[in-house]
């Protein structure tokens, strides 16, 4: 599709000229403002299966020019939703080395340092993510806020390979590891709403689950994420740093955000 960026002439205010859904309804991310929240006691704790991958599996770590993404095997899935949602990939959104705020979702205007998204597709109804990505019940994304704090050994399982994918379209194979270790404590506390991809083509096809509790990574780990990558190709003479890859909050319109916690 047409090229898009987070800043400049191809930035998010112009996405809708090539990607009409980006100007449509049910867009993500949104700001979780208190007045939008409604406690729903029927929201079950999120349960995932087969997230503890064996180290003799290999995953593809790649720089797609918009984010760093880790491919995930489809035998990983979410089991606590009405359909089985099988994993496809995980990726990140972050700010920059001096702007330690790059999450997409915000809580009463508070922006976290970054946000991880684990993208799943409805494998009960669709054979792969490409067939699911534009369907109303196609995708389920788990969102995890990232804060600067304690060193996180789970993230280093692949952060240490980032220098192998500095440039756009570079990819390497990395040993698999326990993806569950990337998730926060308390998978029973989360925000839930109907939304969209936060990148073009912005299809309104995502059941969003954003966990209330953040995970922490160290400042050194965060800087590795925020400063290691380029959106430009290796052979290009002008380098374009890959940072600030977060979409601004969209209109909630009259959407309600369900929460599984009372406070
Ligand atoms: N924030 S988000 O969760 O909405 C989201 C992204 F932010 C993002 F960058 C990507 S991407 O594939 O890395 C690049 C542009 O699609 C995807 N990729 C998804 C969307 C389309 C697609 C097709 C095949 C595999 C993954 C994806 C995504 F779902
Ligand atoms: Zn994302």
What CA–CA distance (Å, rounded) separates 197 from 207?
Answer: 10
Q: Which atom of ligand 1 is nearest to the CA of 91?
A: 13
What CA–CA distance (Å, rounded) separates 139 from 161?
Answer: 28
Mean pLDDT to the nearest integer, 150-161: 95
Distance from the CA of 93 to the center of ligand 2, in angstroms? 6
- Ligand 1 binding pocket includes 88 (Cβ within 6 Å): yes
Q: Mind listing the pLDDT tens digit for each residue in 179-225?
A: 999 999 999 999 999 999 999 999 999 999 999 999 999 999 999 99
pLDDT band at 263 (very low <50, low <70, confident <90, very high): confident
> 93, 106, 103: which is closest to 30 by C-alpha?
106
Alpha carbon dihedral 208, 182, 31, 260, in 10-degree steps, equals 60
Record the tokens describing residue 199, joined without a space: 């990148």
Distance from the CA of 262 to the center of ligand 1, in angstroms? 31
- Ligand 1 binding pocket includes 22 (Cβ within 6 Å): no
- Is residue 83 annotated as a catalytic residue, yes or no? no
pLDDT band at 1 (very low <50, low <70, confident <90, very high): confident
pLDDT at 96: 85
Dihedral of alpha carbons 19, 24, 28, 33, sign: positive
What pTM value is reported for the model? Answer: 0.97
Q: Which atom of ligand 1 is nearest to the CA of 104?
A: 1
H or E element at residue 31: strand 31-32
Is the pLDDT assigned to residue 83 strictly greater than 90?
Answer: yes
Preceding omega of 29 cis (within 30 degrees of 0): yes
pLDDT at 174: 97
> 96, 110, 178, 112: which is closest to 144 by C-alpha?
112
> 114, 223, 228: which is closest to 164 by C-alpha?
228
């Amino acid at each position: 599709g047409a090229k898009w960026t987070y800043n400049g002439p191809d930035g998010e205010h112009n996405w809708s000229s090539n990607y009409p859904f980006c100007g449509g309804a049910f867009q993500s991310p949104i700001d979780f403002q208190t007045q939008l929240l409604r406690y729903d006691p029927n929201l079950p704790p999120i349960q995932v299966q087969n997230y503890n991958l064996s180290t003799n599996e290999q995953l593809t770590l790649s720089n797609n020019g918009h984010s760093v993404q880790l491919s995930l095997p489809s035998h990983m899935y979410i089991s606590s939703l009405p359909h089985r949602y099988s994993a496809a990939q995980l990726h990140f959104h972050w700010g920059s080395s001096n702007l330690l705020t790059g999450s997409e979702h915000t809580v009463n205007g508070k922006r976290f340092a970054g946000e991880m998204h684990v993208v799943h597709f409805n494998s009960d109804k669709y054979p792969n993510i490409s067939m699911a990505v534009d369907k109303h019940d196609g995708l389920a994304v788990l969102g995890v806020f990232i804060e600067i704090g304690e060193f996180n050994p789970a993230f280093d399982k692949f952060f240490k390979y980032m220098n192998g994918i500095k440039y756009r379209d570079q990819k390497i194979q990395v040993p698999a590891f326990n993806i569950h270790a990337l998730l926060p404590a308390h998978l029973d506390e989360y925000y839930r709403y109907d939304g969209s991809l936060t990148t073009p083509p912005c299809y309104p096809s995502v059941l969003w689950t954003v966990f209330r509790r953040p995970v922490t990574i160290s400042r050194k780990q965060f800087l590795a994420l925020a400063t290691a990558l380029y959106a430009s190709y290796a052979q290009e003479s002008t380098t374009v740093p890959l940072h600030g890859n977060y979409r601004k909050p969209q209109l909630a319109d009259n959407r309600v955000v369900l929460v599984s916690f009372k406070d």
